[in-house]
Amino acid sequence: MLSRYFLAGCLLWLATGARAQQPPVTVNARESGPPKPHTVDASDVIADFLGWKRRSADSAAAHFSVIPSVGYTELTGFSGGLTGIYSFRHRDPGTEQKLSSILGGVTLAEKGQLTIPLNAIVFSRHNNWNILFDGRYMRSTAFEWGLGTHTGEAGRYRIDYDYLKLHGSVLRRLSGHLYAGLGYHYDRLWDVAERDLPAGTVTDYQRYGLAKRSTAAGPALRFIYDSRLNPINPGRGWYGGATLRVNRTELRSDSNWQSLLVELRHYIPVGAGKRSVLALWSYNWLTLGPGSPPYLLLPSTGWDDFFNTGRGFLQGRHRGRNL
């Protein structure tokens, strides 16, 4: 029996590796129509091998997947992790019900770094309410280059820190795909320390105001337009969002400051059968007014909710008041 499950694991690895070269297709994943009859995914391979009964896309209202990961970077050494994704859709005849998802996981690195994310996008029945949560704990090490877009590799050094992020929002549908609501954003950094600095070096962090710990907290006003039926693997549609964050000392923030995040995404089906997607993305993260965010909470590459901005650059490679 153990050897049977070991072989199943090998099949899963082979199946996912082969699928990495093709456009992603998951059961009930695309709003552009059901998969062709001959299409199978990794879960189908495992189910057939173990003799489990395979459910059709229309018969399942919820899906759960666990995805292992292995990686290596100069900062972390080797790392391994597990990510679980639970997706579900309320059965609501006559309504194009949006897919809800909850993602959680853990990643542990050879050199001691630890990341625990928890992210949720939940729609109520009839899509009338949208509940959003982005949380993470990080015991991390990152490279830092300074402020602006003209920083060189010669000035690179290392920063260690612990980070807790708790961002939650509840939005009400106003009309069609348009939502508005309020949230509370809380960020805390502690045990912040600069490492590997040449003697006599004065960093932008030190000039800005080096703090071993800092807290930012306050309400957030959010507007979202989301015509996608599936936020995990959208096949078409638009997503637009605007978030005004107001940090106040009365709400446990170290200082008063404001930021505005505006983004727009468009997903265009292309190719034979329109199973591939061209995605266009505009992301604008601005600091408003005279207040100053904590240095490590300034707009920077790779610090959106899913670590996607500035792909091709290391996280935090470019940092400043506006991005």
- The string of pLDDT tens digits covering residues 115-168 is 999 999 999 989 999 999 999 999 999 888 888 888 877 778 899 999 999 999
Q: Count CB-CB contacts under 10 A for residue 215.
A: 20
Does residue 76 surpass a pLDDT of 90? no
3-state secondary structure of 7: helix
The tokens describing 104, both together, are 């959680």
DSSP string, 25-89: --TT--TT-PPPTT---HHHHHHHHHTPPPPPGGG-SEEEEEEEEEEEETTTEEEEEEEEEEEE-
pLDDT of residue 157: 87
Rounded alpha-carbon distances, angstroms, from residue 133 to 6, 120, 162, 256, 293:
36, 5, 20, 23, 21
3-state secondary structure of 272: helix
Strands 237-247, 157-175: pairing kind: unpaired
Contact 251, 217 (CB under 8 A): yes
Does residue 27 surpass a pLDDT of 50? no
pLDDT of residue 23: 37
Does residue 53 surpass a pLDDT of 60? no
pLDDT-based confidence at residue 20 (cuts at 50, 70, 90): very low
Q: Count CB-CB contacts under 10 A for residue 248.
A: 15
Contact 212, 190 (CB under 8 A): yes
User: Torsions phi, psi of 223, nearest 5?
Assistant: -125, 135
pLDDT of residue 314: 73
Lowest-confidence pick of 27-36, 60-69, 168-177, 218-227: 27-36
Domain layout of the chain by residue ranges? 64-297
Contact 147, 316 (CB under 8 A): no
The torsion of the CA quartet 101, 247, 300, 168, rounded to 10 degrees, works out to 0
- The whole-angstrom separation of Cα 233 and Cα 289 is 37
- pTM across the whole model: 0.77
What's the mean per-residue pLDDT of the chain? 82
Instruction: State which of 92-101, 102-111, 201-210, 306-315 shows the largest mean pLDDT.
Output: 102-111
How large is the average pLDDT for residues 314-322? 82
- The whole-angstrom separation of Cα 226 and Cα 240 is 6
Alpha helix positions (H), 176-278: 204-209
Q: Which residue spans within the chain are E strands per DSSP?
A: 62-73, 77-88, 100-109, 114-123, 129-144, 157-175, 178-195, 214-226, 237-247, 257-270, 276-288
Lowest-confidence pick of 75-84, 149-158, 241-250: 149-158
Nearby residues of 74 by Cβ (< 8 Å), 6 or more positions away = none
Does residue 58 surpass a pLDDT of 50? no
- The whole-angstrom separation of Cα 112 and Cα 108 is 7
pLDDT-based confidence at residue 44 (cuts at 50, 70, 90): low
Q: Is 109 exposed, middle or buried (0-12, 13-18, 19+ CB in 10 A)?
A: buried
pLDDT of residue 169: 97
Between residues 42 and 161, which one has the greater pLDDT? 161
Nearby residues of 18 by Cβ (< 8 Å), 6 or more positions away = none
Lowest-confidence pick of 75-84, 145-154, 307-316: 307-316
Does residue 189 surpass a pLDDT of 70? yes
How large is the average pLDDT for residues 242-269? 95
Lowest-confidence pick of 214-218, 261-265, 276-280: 276-280
- The whole-angstrom separation of Cα 105 and Cα 118 is 7
Does residue 170 surpass a pLDDT of 80? yes
